[in-house]
């Protein structure tokens, strides 16, 4: 079943037209004969874009008699192409499950630092977090815009650092909580090992 006018689908064409495979919106349907009567040029609007010739069309056009023709418009591009495709040029029924998905980027402002070693370690942790959700590896990149540079005295920068440290304590981010728990766990494991050593000594005695 052909999706209705207005539907956006993934179209898969037969081998001679396979270079046109892609996502299109159905603008209009008509018979092949109506298309010819209204002046549709199938060489210009189908064969040439597919890398085929007017001779190919002359040898094949009779195969399209009485077929439904789909007027297709590409999506996602400015000046998207429009093709007129008889159903006989399709390899399979168009897939109507196509949806538009935004390609998301995440921007994180980290502020001014005098030395990149102060913050570059963040990349590994953020990469791991992003990979755990998206499966994308090594996606974090650092950028700066010279137009946003600030000029600070040593005292002003030290004040900024103090404010950052105070904010970290107030926010108590998850990484800080995890590190605190790891420290506690290490202390407990050390304590347990000491108790085990004491018990072994007592049992031996």
Question: E strands along the chain, which residues?
Answer: 8-11, 22-31, 68-74, 82-86
The four Cα atoms 111, 112, 114, 116 give a dihedral, to 10 degrees, of 40
Whole-number Å distance between alpha carbons of 172 and 165? 10
Q: Per-residue confidence of the chain (205 residues) as pLDDT tens digits?
A: 889 999 999 999 999 999 999 999 999 999 999 999 999 999 999 999 999 999 999 999 999 999 999 999 999 777 889 999 999 999 999 999 999 888 898 889 999 998 888 889 889 888 988 898 899 999 999 989 899 999 899 999 999 999 998 887 776 656 667 777 888 888 889 888 888 888 888 877 5
Whole-number Å distance between alpha carbons of 98 and 68? 22
CB 106, CB 143: distance < 8 Å? no
Is the pTM higher than 0.75? The answer reads no
């Amino acid at each position: 079943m052909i999706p209705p006018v207005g539907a956006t689908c993934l179209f898969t064409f037969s081998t001679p037209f396979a270079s046109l495979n892609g996502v299109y919106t159905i603008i209009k349907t008509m018979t092949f004969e109506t298309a010819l009567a209204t002046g549709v040029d199938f060489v210009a609007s189908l064969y040439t874009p597919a890398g085929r010739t007017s001779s190919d069309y002359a040898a094949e056009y009779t195969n399209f008699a009485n077929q439904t023709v789909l007027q297709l418009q590409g999506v996602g591009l400015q000046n998207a192409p429009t093709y007129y495709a008889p159903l006989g040029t399709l390899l399979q029924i168009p897939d109507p499950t196509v949806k538009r998905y935004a390609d998301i980027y995440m921007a994180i402002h980290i502020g001014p630092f005098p030395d990149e070693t102060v913050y570059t370690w963040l990349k590994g942790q953020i990469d791991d977090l992003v990979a755990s959700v998206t499966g994308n590896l090594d996606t974090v990149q650092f950028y700066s815009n010279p137009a946003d540079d600030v000029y600070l005295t040593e005292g002003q920068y030290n004040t900024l650092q103090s404010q950052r440290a105070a904010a970290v304590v107030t926010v108590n981010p998850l990484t800080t909580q995890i590190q605190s728990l790891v420290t506690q766990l290490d202390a407990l494991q050390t304590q347990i090992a000491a108790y085990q050593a004491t018990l072994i000594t007592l049992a031996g005695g």
